[in-house]
Chains A and B, each alone.
Chain A
Amino acid sequence: MTQPAPLLQVNDLKTYFTIGTGGPFGSGKQTLKAVDGISFEIHAGEVLSLVGESGCGKTTVGRTLTQLEPATDGEAYFNGTEILSLPNSQFRPLRREIQMIFQDPFASLNPRLTIEQTLAEPLHIHKLAKNRKEARVLISETLQLVGLDPKVMDRYPHEFSGGQRQRIGIARVMILKPKLVIADEMVSALDVSIQAQVLNLIKDLQRDSGVSMLFISHDLGVVRHISDRVAVMYLGKIVEIGNRLEIFENPSHPYTKLLLSSIPRIKPGRTKVEDLGEPASATSPPTGCAFHPRCAIATEICRSAQPEMNELSETHVSACHNISQLLGGHA
């Protein structure tokens, strides 16, 4: 069976930052490899989650794909077009199709613009409405789509709660009918009862519109709820990628196992995975497999060589030297 070409195909993406003052002779400068050679694809109508802890590079992936950070190396094909090297003038029309939603619903809306002005702005930029009347019709439809009363158009962001503001942020993205939405920790700032409402909304919108999503999150519960596929990142690299159930029911990397076992549970009886070390620093990553100082099954080779990707199924890949030991000897 041949799959259709993916909507987004990322090959060996690298984003490095130079940090430190440098001094008069450029000494003391360090390279921070925020994203260090990752590859993945997202198909039309699919939700891929990028999950990992602070500093693993998941946010930088999203920012690089939207050209908010320049890529150091690698390629990303969106609908067949390489987008990382596109000059701004040619990337701009694509921005309608690749949209981003951010974490903080308080910081991402302009306090001086009414909701109508906020939602009209993208329509003007991409010339999607001829006049104000047409824009208002579109805005009104989109507000209803995200569960808000169209009457709120004349109000300002401060009059809304966090959950409502996040709905406005979603409306601002959905009004452009994008093909790919990059959502960076979009429900992390919300209270759990509101988070549930917003998650249900995103799931409905995603199913109805068929938009693809790159869902960046640290919350594994949220990730399990929203994703079709999941990629686990550790220190700039993808350590495991697979379908939702493959990752959650059959985690096949020691780091994924550690993450899953660290979540506090309401029902007692979670099995704890031993965590031997501290999270590593991205400026001086450990040699070999970056996870080896924390890994309970690390051996000599883990300290010296970077693991290759092992294919466990057509959809499930894990980068661990000791994969056979991890899976109980029958892989």
Chain B
Amino acid sequence: MALLEVSNLSIAVAAGGKLLPVVQGISFQVEAGKTLGIVGESGCGKSLTSLAIMGLLEGSQVRIIGGTIHFNGQNMLTLSDKKRREIMGAEMAMIFQEPMTSLNPVYRVGDQIIEAIRQHKKQTKQQARARAIELLTLVRIPDAEKRIESYPHQLSGGMRQRVMIAMALACDPKLLIADEPTTALDVTVQARILELLKELQQQTGMAIVLISHDLGVIAETCDSVAVMYRGKFVEVAPSAELFSTVAHPYTSGLLSSIPVSDHEIDRLDAIPGRVPMLGEDVIGCAFHPRCNLAQECCSLKDPEEVSLTQTHFTRCHFPIGSNL
């Protein structure tokens, strides 16, 4: 069994007495030591998926309405609160996009890491402090002994994100969920953080779920990729396979929308239209109103998942480059 197994997960938002679906029956697995990337645009449900895995949806307007999440063989959705709290933050940790709002501004960064350690491990303050310095050194913060006394506002954005990573690694997690971990950072800082995550993964063997809107980031860091559109995985494949043989028109549209810095493009091949709003009904394939390959059946019937190879799946009636 894989470390993380999500099957048929569905999430809905309660609005005006109705349940509006935002994630519709997605399934995936992540093995230890591997990285899965989930890519998609705002509102596609990628962040809600990560919050659901972490068990952070409770008490909000958003709820899981179907499916299972198995972590390390345990069903996370039926686990007692106490048991789940032991796993969250220890075996399964998360880093977010905004390193400023994820740290408490009135506590020193060291104390925040120490708190995370002592929450899960029986350690004295001195032991936890030593471990915190070790962790800050691990994420390559210079002068860790001194930096542990800093307040978040005294650190740059890249440094804060490193502190967040150190905190997430405090209890040697088996799974790290990184939701747009470098989106708020400058490109040179992003390059260093992504390299750091890769190295840490090699050292610790943790699995990573990386959520991003940036296909470049995904291509460079992930073993496999899931492309999400309107709550569904429209294409899933190993990273190299996905980018060499794109099957879904949405993935292809995303790729041709990116202005790249390494060659000349006069006009971007933009995807027309916009993502349908939450609660807006689209009959058939959710992407068909924006798809230039759509035919009549696309507006009638939502496509089933088809497999192009053993590892490459797509949800499209007319996948690119296949004779289906």
Contacts and interface: CB of A to CB of B under 8 A. Distances in A.
Given A262-B190, A263-B216, A279-B158, A225 B265 contact: yes
Interface stretch (B21-29, B89-97, B269-277, B304-312): B269-277
B260 A221 contact: yes
A195 B186 CA distance: 19
B269 to A, nearest CB: 7
B260 A259 contact: no
Given A199-B259, A265-B219, 6 more contacts: A193-B253, A196-B268, A200-B267, A221-B261, A261-B191, A279-B189
B271 A193 contact: yes
B41 interface: yes
Contact of A264 (B158, B216, B267, B270): B216
A260 interface: yes
A65 B247 CA distance: 48
Contact of B194 (A199, A264, A267, A278): A264
Interface in B242-284: 243, 253-262, 264-265, 267-272, 274-275
Contacts of B216: 263-266
B192 A275 contact: yes
Contacts of A267: 219, 243
A208 interface: no
A195 B215 CA distance: 14
B274 A53 contact: no
B157 A266 contact: no
A279 B188 contact: yes
Most buried by A among B256, B269, B272, B275: B275
A231 to B, nearest CB: 16
A85 to B, nearest CB: 34
Contacts of B265: 225
Contacts of A218: 186-187
B257 A54 contact: no
B214 interface: yes
26 contacts: A164-B274, A191-B41, A191-B42, A193-B257, A195-B257, A197-B271, A199-B259, A218-B187, A224-B259, A224-B261, A224-B264, A226-B259, A258-B188, A261-B191, A262-B187, A263-B261, A264-B190, A264-B191, A264-B219, A264-B220, A265-B220, A265-B262, A266-B219, A267-B219, A268-B220, A279-B156
Nearest to B240: A268
Nearest to B194: A264
B67 to A, nearest CB: 26
Given A193-B253, A200-B267, A266 B243 contact: yes
Contacts of A162: 42
B187 A192 contact: no
A221 B259 contact: yes
A6 interface: no
B213 interface: yes
A49 to B, nearest CB: 12
Interface in A254-304: 258-268, 272, 275, 278-279
Most buried by B among A162, A195, A219: A195
B260 A193 contact: no
A220 interface: yes
A34 B243 CA distance: 41
Interface string B33-54: 0000000011000000000000
B247 to A, nearest CB: 16
Interface in A158-194: 161-164, 191-194
B228 interface: no
Interface in B100-150: 142
Contacts of A199: 259, 268, 270
Interface residues of B, number: 44
B187 A203 contact: no
Contacts of A258: 188
B157 A53 contact: no
A278 B192 CA distance: 10
Nearest to B214: A264
Nearest to A195: B257
Contacts of A248: 261-262
Interface in A216-230: 218-226
Nearest to B185: A54
Contacts of B191: 261-262, 264, 272, 275
A328 B15 CA distance: 63
Contacts of A265: 216, 219-220, 262
A196 B188 contact: no
Contacts of B270: 193, 196-197, 199-200
B270 to A, nearest CB: 4
Contacts of A54: 157, 186
A69 B274 CA distance: 37
A192 B39 CA distance: 11
Interface string A231-256: 00000000000000100100000000
Most buried by A among B41, B157, B274: B274
A72 B267 CA distance: 40
Contacts of A262: 187-188, 190-191
Contact of A263 (B157, B187, B257, B269): B187
B113 to A, nearest CB: 20
A260 B274 CA distance: 30
Contacts of A279: 156, 158, 186, 188-189
A162 B43 CA distance: 12
Contacts of B268: 196, 199-200, 225
B217 interface: yes
